[in-house]
Structure 1
Amino acid sequence: MMTERQKMLAGQLYDAADPDLKSERLAAREKMAAFNNELDRDKRKELVKNWFGTTGDNIMIEPRFVCDYGSNIHVGENFYANFNSTFLDVCEIRIGDNAMLGPNVQLLTPLHPLDAKERIAGLEYGAPITIGHNVWIGGGATILPGVTLGDNVVVGAGAVVTKSFGDNVVVAGNPARVIKEL
């Protein structure tokens, strides 16, 4: 039988009120508080390296950073996230090398059932987000559950990315669409 955490990571309906998941979220909030109150960039970098699932060596995340767990986030080498990033990581978020995120970027993996009874019962599910190498995501962009972005993708500021895109494109708008091939 699968644990609620295993169900969550597999994208299946799970009980978000599970005591083990609640405990993990509380631990993440303690790590968020330490991170967001740390002024020294090098100390913040070390906090993230000991918190996230995996990271490259050269990473920089500006405060305020918010997530559900942190352990389901994987970032590559030369990663930069500007102020006020939100990474809701009920499923894995994987980001390649040389990625840059503007301020107020949201990466959202959770989904809630359309069926009211399931939703009221506290059941949730999610879908992972995968972002390739050399990606630049403009300020205020939102990447929704299940999206994969290929290599060398640029996401315009304020875009709402509802579907996946391949390599070498600029996407913008709500919903995001290809506005230029690179």
Structure 2
Amino acid sequence: MTQRERRQAGLYFCAIDAEIHEERLRAQDLIQRYNALRPDQHEEANEIIHSLLGTMGERCHFVPPIFFDYGSNVHIGDFSFVNSNFTALDAGRIDIGRHVFIGPNVSIYTPTHPLLAEERNTGYEQGKPVKIGDNVWIGGSVTILGGITIGEGAVIGAGSVVTRDIPAGVIAVGNPCRVLREITDADRVLHDIEP
């Protein structure tokens, strides 16, 4: 089994392996090109981001600058918006649903490393997946750790550090991020439009 296959299977893999290193270099080249584009270069931006990501739905938008380890482990659904300074360390798979709003300076960290220094120093790591449901809003400067699922329609408050799963339909805030309350019809602010 190659190191890439080990990574994709969620096993510990050698992050300093030559094939893995080449994947990161490819991603860094695409990222540098994307981040250097002028705002009116929509077609070029679309081509680059489609080449970088595993899958991308319709009418998604990433505001530069962005950063990924690989990009190929990130999958994003239709109509999602990602604001500037997004970082995704995607050793593990990252699934972002449809109609997801991601604020500026959000980071998703899937890699985990051995706790014992002599093991950690070997270059081995493991990627733990992250799943963000449809219609989630992630506020600015949120950090999401590997192995986390955020349920559909949840709102994560700015500055939160998400260290455990968040259920659907709630507001969650803090460090560590905790459920504050459910989102209800009393939260509606646009009373003159259909839901």
Identify whether the pair has TM-score above 0.5, normalized to the shorter chain. Answer: yes
Q: Which amino acid aligns with 1:62?
A: V
CA contact (8 A) 1:11 1:126 kept: yes
Task: State the match for 1:33 in structure 2.
Answer: 32
Task: State the match for 2:109 in structure 1.
Answer: 108
Task: State the match for 1:150 in structure 2.
Answer: 151
Q: Which amino acid aligns with 2:72?
A: S
Task: State the match for 2:52 in structure 1.
Answer: 51
Deviation (angstroms), 1:180: 1.5
The C-alpha deviation readout for 1:59-109, integer Å capped at 9, x for no partner, is: 100111000001110000011111100011011100110001000000110
The unaligned stretches of length 5 or more in structure 1 are none
TM-score (norm 2): 0.90
Task: State the match for 1:166 in structure 2.
Answer: 167
The unaligned stretches of length 5 or more in structure 2 are 184-195
- SS of 1:98's equivalent in the other structure is coil
Structure-to-structure mapping, 1:17-96, within 5 angstroms: 17-39=16-38, 40-96=41-97
TM-score (norm 1): 0.97
Deviation (angstroms), 1:41: 3.4
Task: State the match for 2:135 in structure 1.
Answer: 134
Q: Structure 2: how far apart are the matches of 1:45 and 1:60?
A: 9
Deviation (angstroms), 1:9: 2.1
Q: Which amino acid aligns with 2:143?
A: T
Q: Structure 2: how far apart are the matches of 1:87 and 1:45?
A: 18
RMSD: 0.9
Q: Structure 2: how far apart are the matches of 1:162 and 1:9?
A: 22
Q: Which amino acid aligns with 1:180?
A: R
Is the radius of gyration larger for structure 1 or structure 2? 2
Deviation (angstroms), 1:50: 2.3
Q: Structure 2: how far apart are the matches of 1:128 and 1:178?
A: 21
| Aligned-residue identity in percent | 42
CA contact (8 A) 2:53 2:73 kept: yes
